[in-house]
Structure 1
Amino acid sequence: MAGLSALGAAAYATPALPKAPRKPPRLKTGDVVGVVAPASAIDGEDSVERAAWWLKGMGLEPRFGPHVAGRYGYLAGTDEDRAADLNAMYADPAVKAVFAMRGGWGGARILPLLDWDAIRRNPKLLLGFSDVTALHLAFARRAGYATIHGGNATSSWRPESWESLWRLAFAADVPTLGGPAGELASGRAGRTIRGGTARGRLLGGNLTIVSTLMGTPWLPSFKGAILFAEDTNEAEYRIDRMFQQLRLAGVLDDVAGVVFGQCTGCRTTEADYNGFTLDQVIDHYLAPLGIPAFTGGNIGHVSNQLSLPSGALVELDADARTIRLLSPIVS
C-alpha cells in the first residue's frame, strides 16, 4: 500500500534536537489555523462544516488541507497525501497552529513522511487526541516542543475543554488542570492509587497507540516522565496486555508518576464474565510502582475532556488528582 515503503530502516535516523527549541506562538483572535486529517477518513461535508463552526466560534479562521475530505480505504487519503497536508501547514507562515479533524487510525503511517526539519524550524501547536497520540509522541521525540492533547476539530468543545485550551494556547497561562469537579463532569469519579507529587515531562495519550509505538524510533524517552493514558472500547484483558507491554519495555519502571484518565466503554458486558475489573487491572500495574498515581481524570474519549500540555514539564499531585503546568508552552 502507498507509503509503506517509507517505513524502512533509513527512516529511523534520529536527528539531534535543538538545545533550546523555540516555543510555538500563542493563539490570538483572527489567527489562521490549519485543519488536517492525518488518520481515518471523515464522515463527509458535515464534518468539515462542524469543524469550521467550532473553530470560528473560538475566534479562529480555519484553513482546510486539500486532502482533508479524501478517502483511501478507511484512511483520509494516501499516506503521501495526508503527510503533504501536514507538511504544508508547517511550511506556511500564515498558519499559527494545526488541528486534527479526527483520530481513528493512520497517524503512525505518515511519521516517516513528515518534514521534521520544517516542523522544528516552525514551532506551531498541534491539537488533537486518540490516534493523534502518534503525532504527539513523535513531536516530543523529534521536534522538542509541547503540543496539546485535547479535542479534535470535530469534537464537542464543552466548557472544560475550551477553558483549558484557552489558558494553554491563548493566555500563555500555567493552569492547574483536573480535580474532582472535572471528574464529576466526565461521569466517573477519580481515585488516588498512591498519593504524593512528582514532576516530569507529560507524555502519553491513547494507550493503544502508545503501545503500538513501542520499539520504534518515534517514541520519546519516558525516563522521569509523567505518563498519562486513556482508551476506549477495549476489554479489560486488552488494557492488561498493553500495560504489560509497557512494563516489559521498561516504561513503567522509568516514569515518575501516572494518571489514567477515562477508559470509555472498557467493560466486558457478558453476563457470565468473572475476570478482573478495569480498576483491578490498573491497580495490578500501578500500585506496586510506589510512585504518585491516580485514575479518573477527564482525559480521553469524553465530551468534556481536558486540553493537556503534552511534552511539557508538569507537576502531578495524586492526592488532589491534578496536573499543574510549570511554565507556559507558548510564547
Structure 2
Amino acid sequence: MNRKHFLRSLTLAGASLPVIPSIPALAAAEQAVSSEALPAIPPYLKPGDTIGITCPAGYITPDSIKPAIQQMESWGYKVRPGKTVGMRDFTFGGRDQDRFQDFQEMLDDPSLKAIMCARGGYGMVRIIDQLNFSGFVQQPKWIIGFSDITVMHCHLSANYPVASIHSKMCNSFPDDWSKADPLQQDTILSIRRALSGEKMEYKTPPSAFNRMGMAEGLLVGGNLKTIESLSGSASSINTKGRILFVEDTGEYLYSIDRMFWNLKRAGKLSDLAALVVGGFKVKPDDPGEEFGRTVIDIVMEKVKEFKYPVCFDFPVGHQKNNFALKCGVIHQLTVGTEGVELKEKR
C-alpha cells in the first residue's frame, strides 16, 4: 500500500466516509460489549520504562535484535533481552522449558512494562498452558507480536482479558533506519504510537469487493491458520460481537478455504460485528490441482448470509505494510465508497 493511502489520526481528524450504516451491527456490538467485562488496558509506556525481549517460538541471534534494541532505545525506553535470545533447539528459541521459564519470568517481573516477542515461527502453543498469568492479571503489561504469537493474543482474549499489540517484531526492524523506506518506518513507528497510548487510526483505499457498513466492537484476530489450530482448545477465540481481523502467508487456496470453513462451522463468523481481511500471500496451486477460487471468493462465500461489513486488503499481515493493532480494545470500522477507516474508540 502506498504511504499516501495510510493516514494517522491527526490526518484523519474530521474526515468522513460515505457509507451504508449497519445499525443492527452497531447495536449488537454495543450490547455484547456492555454485557461483559472489558479487557484491561495495560499502562502505556513512559520514557525510561523497560521492554523485555524473549523468544517463545523461533530462535534469533543477539545480533539480529540489535536494530530493534537501538530503535526502541531511541524512543526513550530501556530494553532487556531475555535468556532465550541466542538459544537454539533446532527451529526453536531454546527448549520448551527454556522458553517457558523466560516468558514466565517476564510476565512476573514488575520492572518490565512490555514484552516483545523476537520473532514468530512456531512454538508458543507448546508452552502456553504452562504459563501462570495470575501475577500478570494483577499487573498487566503489553505483549507484542504477530504470526505464531496469535496464540497469545487469542489465549488472553479467551481467558485473561488483557489488551495486547499485534505488530511486527524484532526481526522486522530495518538494519539501517536511514535507508528504510517510509512505509517500513511508519509500520515500526506504529508500535511506538501504540505503546505510548496514541489512539490508533487507519485509513485504506476502497476495494470493489468490500461490503459497506459500520460496526463497533472489540478488535480480535491474527494469523488465520493459528486461529484455526486453536479451535476447541482453551485458547479458542471468542468472536461474538467483535471485529475480527485475519491474515496468512504461504498457504494453498484450498487450505485457506478449509480454514474459513472451520471458522464458519465453529460459529466464529455468525455473530461478528465485522470482518477485516488483511494480507494473504497465497502459495501457487500445483499444476493440474487448481482450486479455481480467489481469497475474495472464499471469504464472501462464507459470509454471504450475514449482514456485517467486510473489507479486504487491510494493512496487516506477513508483509511490509503490517501496522500495529491493539487487540482487545474497542474499535469502530467504517467501510465506505471512498475507503475504509478503522479507529480506536476507547
User: Same fold per TM (> 0.5)?
Assistant: yes
- The aligned counterpart of 1:216 is 233
| Separation in structure 2 between the aligned mates of residue 104 and residue 85 of structure 1, nearest angstrom | 17
Equivalent of 1:228, from 236, 245, 260? 245
> Cα distance, 1:92 vs. partner?
1.4
What is the match of residue 244 of structure 1?
A: 261
Counterpart in the other structure of 2:187: 161
Query: Which of 38, 54, 57 does residue 36 from structure 1 map onto?
Result: 54
The normalised TM-score by structure 2 is 0.81
Matched AA of 2:279: Q
User: How far is the alpha carbon of 1:218 from its aligned partner?
Assistant: 1.3
Post-superposition offset of 1:71: 1.6
RMSD: 2.1
Q: Could you tell me how far apart the structure 2 residues matched to 1:166 and 1:200 are? A: 23
The superposition leaves residues 222-280 of structure 1 with CA deviations (integer Å, 9 ceiling, x where unpaired) of 11111100001111111101000001101011211100000124443748846212222
User: Structure 1 pair 190/35, CA: closer, same or farther in 2 (3 Å)?
Assistant: farther
Runs of 5+ in structure 1 lacking a partner? Answer: 1-17, 181-188
- Count of residues paired in the alignment: 300
- Residue 128 of structure 2 is aligned to residue 111 of structure 1: yes
TM-score (norm 1): 0.84
**Aligned pairs for 1:1-331 within 5 A:** 22-42=40-60, 44-156=61-173, 158-170=184-196, 172-180=197-205, 190-268=207-285, 270=287, 273=290, 275-319=292-336, 320-327=339-346
Whether the 8 Å CA contact 1:191–1:296 is kept in 2: the answer is no
Contact persistence 2:40–2:163 (CA under 8 A): no
Structure-2 separation of matches of 1:21 and 1:312: 7
Deviation at 1:123, TM superposition (A): 0.7
Deviating runs (4+, > 3 A) in structure 1? 18-22, 189-192, 265-274
Cα displacement (A) at 1:166: 3.1
Matched residue SS, 2:232 = coil
| 2: CA distance, partners of 1:325 / 1:66 | 35
Aligned twin of 2:23: none
| Displacement of 1:41 | 1.7
Cα 1:192–1:51, aligned 2, differ >3 Å: closer, same or farther?
same
Equivalent-residue separation in structure 2 for 1:249 and 1:127 (angstroms): 27
Q: Name the CA distance, whole Å, in 2 between partners of 1:225 and 1:288.
A: 17
Change (3 A) 1:78 1:162: same
* Contact 1:67 1:77 (8 Å CA) reproduced: yes
* Distance in 1 (alpha carbons) for counterparts of 2:208 and 2:76: 36
Deviation per residue, 1:153-207 (Å, 9 max, x gap): 221362332343233221x232322422xxxxxxxx7454310011111111000
CA distance in 1, matches of 2:208, 2:77: 37
For residues 289 and 131 of structure 2, the distance between their equivalents in structure 1, rounded to whole angstroms, comes to: 48
